[in-house]
Every structure is written in structure tokens, then in C-alpha cells.
Structure 1
Amino acid sequence: MNYYIVAGEASGDLHGAHLIRALRGMDAHAQFRIVGGDQMQQASGEHAVLHIADMSYMGFVEVLVHIRSILRNLKTVKADLIAYRPDALVLIDFPGFNLKLAAFAKQHGIKVFYYISPKVWAWNTGRVKKIKRIVDHLFCILPFEVDFYAKWGMEVDYVGNPLLDAISQHHTNKQFKQSNGLDNKPLIALLPGSRKMEISKLLPEMSRLVKLFPGHQFVIAGAPNFDKSYYQHYIHGADIPIVFNQTYDLLKHAEAAVVASGTATLETALLHVPQVVVYKANALSIAIGRRVIKVAYISLVNLIMNKEVVKELIQEAANSNTISKELDQLLNNKIYREEMLAQYQALQERMGTPGASEKVARQLLAYLK
């Protein structure tokens, strides 16, 4: 089978790579064309038609500012999709781009599979009707999504969460500190996101924490689509090491973490690291978001548990002063810390077991045959 797989950001690139490996194990004749990042390139042995470094924009205003680039990228992928004519188009998350691509593929008779549901339960639930029309099969990774889609008369496949696969397959580097030249102080992990907007707005606030916690060493988890010089531009001379492609090792060695809202919040929880969640965007994007988003929380941890397990500091609240107060609680309030870890354990039980990538690959092949 020929597969065309599209991911537009770092988390999708990770899940896409695992799916490619699973498909290779089940389909001896699998051929791939990809839109993604370094991990999908490595798994497929193919060069990406477009790289995630040139695609990932988040926020209403940010999308408008880069609309020409987005439309150009969409035109490029559409033309390449028609030229390649795959047996299956597999779209991973990234709904602003991928739903447009799904509609185009459907018009041209290409089977459309969507892996990781667009977050239509958060805002604009009317998009379910569009998804039902243009997507042949939808694979969901969050437990509550099955009931949500059922209310709209749509049957979906729940496959579990691919993060469980990635975490279960990770082998801890016990020499992590030594191999990265870190000292013996307890670590605090800084995860400022994988998009330019997130990093530019969150990292300056994160970097100010260094002086407030002299007994700890702060370490930044770098996204693979940036280099050290990019991060150094936002830490204003603070002594903060940056590590790349070692986020799980960093978290496994960390006493606590400050994490940009996104997939990383769930990864941090599944690795049992107490965290504070932060998020900042363009003020107009936030204002629009607050009017249209229908859920009570922004972090996946709180959404899945349907209560506040981790503290969320958004926009003006995401400053070094408020972050430091929450971080102090995570480090020094034993009861507070242990309650969060107990909630993480309940979260893990709710999430189920690894195997999402294999389940998607197996069901995708069954549908194709």
C-alpha cells in the first residue's frame, strides 16, 4: 500500500513516526510520502515534502499573519497528493490545515483517515458535520471523545493514546546529567513549547525563575526545529542549559516542570513529574479564544480528569512571580505534591495501555482491504 501521512507539529511528527514503523511491520509493501518532521523522515526513510518547521502556527492572529505561507503550503501538498495518488491519506491532528486537505482528497476520490481527532469538543462543535462528510475513518486517542461523537451519530475508533507507546518504549539514559554537563543540583525542566510564538512569549518568563531558585538547576527542553541560538535570544543571558531530543530523560530526572500547554502536559503527567502549566499568546487571539472555546481547562491532564489536577496560568497570570509561587508549592509542599502524583496515577489508569500505533495500523489495513 502507498500511504501519504501528514503531521504539522512536533507531537504529530512523533506519532507519525510510530505509525510508520507499525505499518512497516504489518505491510511488507508499504511505501510512504510524508509531510512532517525529522522523526517521520527517519522512520520512513523519505524526505518530507514540507517540514513541520515551516508549518506550525498557532492562534487566530498568528494564522492571519502567516496566511500566505499557509495557503502556499496547502497548495504544495494538494498538488503533490494528486501526483502521488496514495491508497490512503492519513492526517494527524493539525486540523486547520488537515481538514482542508481532507476535503480536497475526498473530492478526488482518495480515502481519508484521521488520526487524533480535531478538538471539536472544545469549540465549533458544528465541524463534526464536516468531519462526518469528508473523513472515512476517525481514530480517537482520548476516552471521552467516543461518547462525544456518538451524540452526533458518528462512530469512531478509540485506539488509546500514542504517548503511552512512546513512553513505554523509552529507555532512560542514567548518565543524562553527566552526558549533558549538568551539576548535581535537583533539576527543574522548562518546556516552552515547539512553536515560535510559544517560545518567544513563555521563555523570557521561565528564564527569570533561575534567580528565584538558586538551589536548583533549570534545563530547557529544546524543540528539534530550532537551535541553541534561537533559545538564547529569549533567556537574556541566564545560565540555562538546553538539551535536544532528550525531553523524556530530562523529565525523568526532574523534580518539577514548567510546561507550555499542549501534548507535553500529558507527557509530563504520565512520567509522574509535578508541573505547572503555562500559556501565552497574542492578546487578541486569547480574547477570541475565551469567547469561542467551550471547555473549562486548557491542559490535557485537566480535560481528561475533568477537574483541576495541575495549575493553569494563562496570559497575564503566566509571569515569573505567579509561576514561582506554584513551583514553590510543587517543590516544598509535600501534601500538595503527593496529591498531584496520586491524581497522575488515576490519570494513567484512565488512559489504558500502550499499543495505539499498532491498533491504528491494523484497523487502517483492515479498512483498506
Structure 2
Amino acid sequence: MAQKKLKIFVVAGEASGDIYGGLFAENAMEITGVDIELRGWGGEQMANAGVKVTKHYRELAFMGFIEVIKNLRTIKNNLNQCFKEIVEFRPDAVVFIDLPGFNMRVAKRLRNKIKANDDDLQLNTKLFQLVCPQIWAWKSGRIKDLKRDYDCVFPVLPFEDSILKSGGVNSQSMGHPLLDSILKEKSARKGVKKEKKEKLIALLPGSRKQEINKILHVYLQAIKDFPDHEVVIAGAPGLEKSDYTLAEKAGLRVEFGKTRELLQRAEAAVITSGTATLEAALLKVKHVIAYKTSALNFAIAKALVDVDFIGLPNLILGRKAVEELIQGDCNPQKISEELRKALSSSDMEKDFDEIYETLGNGGASKRIAEYVVREVS
């Protein structure tokens, strides 16, 4: 019996999205009875999993209101290019991963194209969003857009599913792909003796140049109070050694492509925010969240965002498990103080165990891939 041919386009705009996209692709390619052609925008993880990557996510990495305004022309060109590539590819499905400011605009244009039923280029594509926009924090009106433009949304945080469903969105809560990534690596290391935590502090000053320029010098001042620890900086995917010149001047090592390995070895970490905080929690690494942006970006965000926490571990638990030092509090003295508290904390490890239990037993990527393929077969 001939296999059904399917075409799927995947859009990931940052390192974590590239990981999830790679896991999705890997699981999709293992589904029997279908012959899948994968194309998309992403990075090395997706490419290694069999996706023909036509644009690297580093070209999409604009963070903060000011950076977005400064790069509006580039962003507009990227939007047009992405839409054009998808229409020309004519996929059975598009899987958008995170990056809501970009992806939701492309999805809206695609939905309008599908509805137009253009005889010259009829598009019969189903649209999926993996990682829900933070409608619970700001822009709650986007739930209407999700309902209108997407065939299905896959939230990754436990509390998001009910919010989406109450707004009429076809939400399918499959779990968090990050857990799959960690479990996959654990499986690969099965039989290898688990190493004890070293007297090592890992610094994760962000994944974008503007983050590193804003915060790395603060981290470097803070860790001077820990002469008995080795300090290593996790180099972000898509960046280069030249982006970390301050670290080199301070005599610190920057390691690329080894973020998880560093976290596994580390006794503690200082992390900006984002997915890395959840990764640290799942790896049971005591850490402090320390983040700052420009005064204008912060003022705009504070006016628009209604949320008690920014760290994923705290959001999942609904309480503060990891200290968050934001803007003015993100200074060397407070980072040093809170890092010492974290190192001596026993409660933090219990909180991390609770997060692990809350996210389930893995398998999210497989379930999502199977759902998408089933819907378009």
C-alpha cells in the first residue's frame, strides 16, 4: 500500500523553539504509513531532525519594544518572506512554535488566504500553534485571534488549557516538550554514573545580543563574591565568542553548545528568564532569576503586563520558588545575596520535584506529532 505524502512547514524563532521543532520533526518522521516532507524556519536541531531549514532563527531574534521598532522593516520583510514561502510550499500543515508576535501575523494572513479560496492557488492548510501566547499576562484579546486563525493550539503550561477552552479555542494539552528533551538525554546517558554537582556556578545571561550587552557586566560583578566556585558562561546558540568579550577580559570561560551539560554539573546558576529557568528547575539546579532591560522597555511592559512572576517555575507553581531580581533589583549585591540563599536552600529542591510531577511523564512531542499528522491525513 502506497504511503500518503504530507508536507509540513515548521516555524521556530528562537533556540527553545528550535529544540521543540526538532523533537516534533523527529517524532513525525517516525509515524508509519506516511511520507512526510518537512521544511521551515529554525536552527540546527530542526535541521538535524530532517527539516529543510531555509532561514535561521537568529535572523528573527528581536526582543523588547524598542528593538522591534528599530527593526520594523526587517521584521516586515521576514513576515512577507515567511508567508510567501509557505504559500509556495503549499503544506498540509503549518506548525508555529512560540514567537507569537511574528507567528500570529503570519497565521492571520494564511487564514485569510485559505478563506479566500483562490482558484489560482487554492490553499488547504491546517494551522497549529505550539506554545500558547501569554494571554494570561497581557493581550488577553488575542484569544479571539487564536480561535479564528488556528485549527489547534498546544499549550505547554498546565493552567493554560482551561483559559483557551473558555475562549472557544481548540486547545489540546499534550504536555511540555522540554521534558521530552531532558528525558531523551537521560535515556542516552543511561548506565553512565551520575556525577556529583561541582562547585560550579553557571551564568546564562540570555540568548540575544541586546540581553547580554545589558546584563553580563552585572553578573560578572556579582560572582566576584564566589572565589571558591568555578564560573562558566553558557554561550547562546547563534551567538559568537566576540559577543562575550567582557567574560574573556574577566578570565572566564564561555562554552557553546553545552548549556544543559553545564546545568547538570552546576551547583547553582544565575539566569535571565525564559525557558532556561524551567530547564534548570527540571535538572534540579538551584538558581536565581536576574533580568533587566532598558528603562523604556520596562516602563511599557509594566504598564501592559499583569502578572505576579516572570519565571516559569514560579508561574507553574503559582508561588515564588525561585527569587526574581528584576530591573533595579538586578544588581551585583542582590544577586550575590540571593545566590548564597539559594545554595543553602533545601526547599528549592522540593519545589523542583513538584514542578516535575506537575508537567507529567513526557511524551508531549510524540502526541503533538501524531495529532497533527492525524488531522491532515
| Same fold (TM > 0.5) | yes
2:76 matched to 1:71?
Answer: yes
Shift of 1:209: 2.8
Shift of 1:260: 1.0
SS at the partner of 1:289?
A: helix
Which segments of structure 1 move beyond 4 Å, counting only runs of 4 or more? 171-177
Give the aligned partner of residue 89 of structure 2. 84
* Stretch deviating more after TM superposition (103-112 or 138-147): 103-112
In structure 2, C-alpha distance between the alignment counterparts of 1:106 and 1:364, rounded to whole Å: 17
Asked whether the equivalents of residues 247 and 253 of structure 2 are also in contact (C-alpha less than 8 Å), the reply is no
2:210 matched to 1:197?
Answer: yes
Give the aligned partner of residue 101 of structure 1. 106
2:306 matched to 1:310?
Answer: no
Give the aligned partner of residue 119 of structure 1. 134
In structure 1, C-alpha distance between the alignment counterparts of 2:291 and 2:237, rounded to whole Å: 20
Asked whether the equivalents of residues 254 and 273 of structure 1 are also in contact (C-alpha less than 8 Å), the reply is yes
**Residue 132 of structure 1, aligned match among 127, 140, 147:** 147
Give the aligned partner of residue 346 of structure 2. 338
Shift of 1:223: 1.1
**Residue 52 of structure 1, aligned match among 51, 57, 64:** 57
Shift of 1:210: 3.6
Give the aligned partner of residue 267 of structure 1. 279
Pairwise CA RMSD: 1.8
Superposed CA offset, 1:306-338 (max 9, x none):
00000001112111111011111122x3xxx11
The count of residues paired between Structure 1 and Structure 2 equals: 357
- Equivalent residues in 2 for 1:1-369, closer than 5 Å: 1-26=6-31, 28-44=34-50, 46=52, 48-109=53-114, 110-170=125-185, 171=188, 186-232=199-245, 234-235=246-247, 237-331=249-343, 333=344, 337-369=345-377
Superposed CA offset, 1:104-130 (max 9, x none):
111222321111111111101011001
SS at the partner of 1:49?
A: strand
Shift of 1:367: 1.3
In structure 2, C-alpha distance between the alignment counterparts of 1:321 and 1:236, rounded to whole Å: 22
Shift of 1:249: 1.1
Gaps spanning 5+ residues in structure 2: where? 1-5, 115-124
In structure 1, C-alpha distance between the alignment counterparts of 2:248 and 2:263, rounded to whole Å: 24
Shift of 1:236: 6.4
Give the aligned partner of residue 180 of structure 1. none
Superposed CA offset, 1:232-289 (max 9, x none):
2x33611211111111111111010001110000000000001100111121111111
Shift of 1:153: 2.9
Asked whether the equivalents of residues 102 and 112 of structure 1 are also in contact (C-alpha less than 8 Å), the reply is yes
TM-score (norm 1): 0.93
In structure 1, C-alpha distance between the alignment counterparts of 2:223 and 2:269, rounded to whole Å: 13
Shift of 1:12: 0.2
